[in-house]
Structure 1
Amino acid sequence: MGKKSFTVEEIKRKIEHYCAYQDRCHKEVEAKLKEYSVIPEARELILLSLMNDNFLNEERFSKSFARGKFRIKKWGKQRIVRELKFKDISAYNIKTALKEIDEVEYINSFNELAEKRLKQITETDIYKKRKKLADYLLYRGWESSLVYAKINELITKK
């Protein structure tokens, strides 16, 4: 049995629903359109229509992405920037998205995360403990200057 074919109008409705459910970036929408095997001309028309009707808004997407990944997943700015670049978001929109993160909230969140993670590490060797904490925080995208300052504050060499 072959793939079900849709009219351009049906695909447009499906993509509108896809975008209304959650903010999407152009790359995600284009991937979805490829799944439907939409011809390039129709793809352009659908994308233009989505942008005109405000279903697709890269700035709104990047702002909500940054807020969500910071508040829910406790990602640092570097990880957020890396992921946004991977989604082909412009440098301007990345900069705008990072403004959504309050500096005080950012530092408080970082401190809470570091202290919580330190309690979970059962390693007794002080150097391995420092490395485990650093690896965890760096992977989550926190700035190395913050990470190493916090480790020196929390785990002192005896």
Structure 2
Amino acid sequence: MYQKQESYTIEEATKKLEHYCAYQERCHQEVRQKLKSMNMIPEASDIIIVHLLEHNFLNEERFAKTYTRGKFRIKKWGKRRIALELKRKDISKFNVNQALTEIDDDEYIDVFNDLAEKKAISLKETDKYKKKKKLIDYLLYRGWESQLVYEKANQLIK
């Protein structure tokens, strides 16, 4: 049968999105997507986004920094993957670069070395070339810089 689409007043939608943004950092793209899924017209969406920005519920720089720290610390992603994912979310180049400065260089190398060593140990491949390729593919997929990856792979798998 025909299902009636739920509609919201600007005030209701604003409250809903305040909660949405307060629960977890969001980027503009996620908020626009949410407004679209709530069937808000573009004019109403713009009013709500301006409200969220003015009241600091929505802050692209803060989102980028939080996202970067989370993906690095929890998922152990490299800077290339983080930058790519932020770019996919339409985060400005300036904010992407600012966010990447959140990662301490020494910690970055430590995390990379731990990850590479653990993965090298866990690979059950007997052919050293295949094993090296698997390690390299794994680290590149996670967004680590290629010169780091190849150097480490050659050091770990001889």
Give the drift of 1:5.
1.5
| Count of equivalent residues | 156
> Which whole-Å deviations, capped at 9, do the CAs of 1:24-61 have from their partners, x for residues lacking one?
00000000000011111111100000000000000000
Give the drift of 1:6.
1.4
Could you say what the CA RMSD is over the residues aligned between the two structures, in angstroms?
Answer: 0.5
State the match for 2:101 in structure 1: 99
Q: Which residue identity lines up with residue 88 of structure 1 in the other structure?
A: D
Aligned counterparts of 1:113 and 1:61: Cα–Cα separation in 2: 26
With the length of structure 1 as denominator, give the TM-score of the two structures: 0.98
State the match for 1:135 in structure 2: 137
> Which whole-Å deviations, capped at 9, do the CAs of 1:73-130 have from their partners, x for residues lacking one?
0000000000000000000000000000000000000000000001110000000000
**Pairs within 5 Å for 1:10-25:** 10-25=12-27
- Aligned identity (percent) is 62
Q: Which residue identity lines up with residue 129 of structure 1 in the other structure?
A: K
State the match for 1:79 in structure 2: 81
Residue 146 of structure 1 pairs with residue 148 of structure 2: yes
Q: Which residue identity lines up with residue 96 of structure 2 in the other structure?
A: I
State the match for 2:60 in structure 1: 58
Q: Which residue identity lines up with residue 77 of structure 1 in the other structure?
A: K
Aligned counterparts of 1:146 and 1:79: Cα–Cα separation in 2: 14
Q: Residue 45 of structure 1: SS of its match in structure 2? A: helix
- Give the conservation status (yes or no) of the 8 Å contact 2:8–2:40: no
Moved >3 Å (runs of 4+):
none
